[in-house]
Amino acid sequence: MTASEKIRSAGLQAIDAPQEEMSYREAIAAALREEMRRDPKTLIMGEDIGESGGPFKTCQGLYEEFGAARVRDTPISETGFVGAALGLALTGYRPIVEIMFADFLGVCFDQIANSIAKHRFMSGGRVKTPIVIRALGGAGLRFGAQHSQTAESWLLSVPGLKIICPSNPAQAYLMLKAAIRDDNPVLVLEHKALLSMKGHVPIGAEEAPMPSGPKILRPGRHATVVASLAMVGKALAAADKLEAEGIEAEVIDIQVLRPLNVEPISDSVRRTNILVTVEEQAPTGGWSSDVVADVVSQAFDYLDAPPARITLPDHPLPYGPHLEDALVPSPEKIAATVKSLL
């Protein structure tokens, strides 16, 4: 089984529903459509998501089925429509917000960090805040420094948020459905470079539990490799390269960035004695910092080498294709890092 086949089949065994092959993009649209049919108080807002189906076509067909009242084309005003989502949630709706590029989360940061994330706490739990904020980010499509960030490091330190990052079509479908049903605010980070990725999706699944934390996609005994979003596929490809040299890498998809559950990763390190993390962010403030700190705290005596963090360099991503490709972590770099620790 190839790396792409492994990631496509991840997590489907426990779901009792017909599986249909579709893209990551189509899986997102299917989840939105099913949840909007399920609950008439579920609606979505964002820029260009109406008749055009969204800038990345993740809302294709929604406007035609649900109309302008529930598929709201907004002005270029993230602060306004993200703030409106809180008002809708407080009055009984389940709003979904699409942020065209994850980079634009900075525009509405105050609404998310100081209002949405804190409102249920400040009300003493008397109100619910069922808000989903979807943000499409990531490199690989030549969008340049201002439109290629995954942006999770900006919000990792905000209490009151759940942050999830689906790395394949089945996850994009199931995790989005779970997020929409949640009574707390959930930030769903999607990756532009995964939109055309194909996989088997359990369409019509009645159950859509939120994952509790990291998931082992490929067992191994020589090294633990933890990755997120588009880096998961590259970690699996690296594991294929290492296998050809007799090295078995255990690949873990982190899945949930907040709340962060590091214990399954520590358990893996207790077996493999090596830890490598792979994320598409600059080194400062990323999720891998917390993973490494917690693993060192929980499983220090089991480590045979210092943990290695593979990240983007500490400067903005360039627009030039050859430069972008050189800076984003590759299967070759991941494999070489694992070998250096062994």
Which residues belong to the active site? Answer: 78, 147
Q: What are phi and psi of 188, to 5 degrees?
A: -105, 115
| Token code pair at residue 35 | 């949840």
Sign of CA dihedral 224, 230, 236, 239: negative
- Burial of 298 from C-beta contacts in 10 A (0-12 / 13-18 / 19+): middle
**Pure H helices in 68-136:** 78-90, 109-110, 119-122
**Residues 6 or more apart in contact with residue 76 via CB below 8 angstroms:** 47
Q: Find, among 265, 250, 260, 235, the residue nearest to 335 by Cα.
A: 235
How far apart, in whole angstroms, are the C-alpha atoms of residue 138 and residue 103? 9
How far apart, in whole angstroms, are the C-alpha atoms of residue 229 and residue 136? 11
How many CA atoms does the CB half-sphere of 240 hold within 13 Å? Answer: 15
List of long-range contacts for 259-263, beta carbons under 8 Å, 24+ apart: 259/162, 260/213, 260/287, 260/290, 260/291, 260/294, 261/212, 261/213, 261/214, 262/214, 262/290, 262/291, 262/294, 262/295, 262/298, 263/213, 263/298
3-class SS of residue 114? helix
How far apart, in whole angstroms, are the C-alpha atoms of residue 226 and residue 107? 30
3-class SS of residue 8? helix
Helix axes 169-181, 24-38, angle to 10 degrees: 30
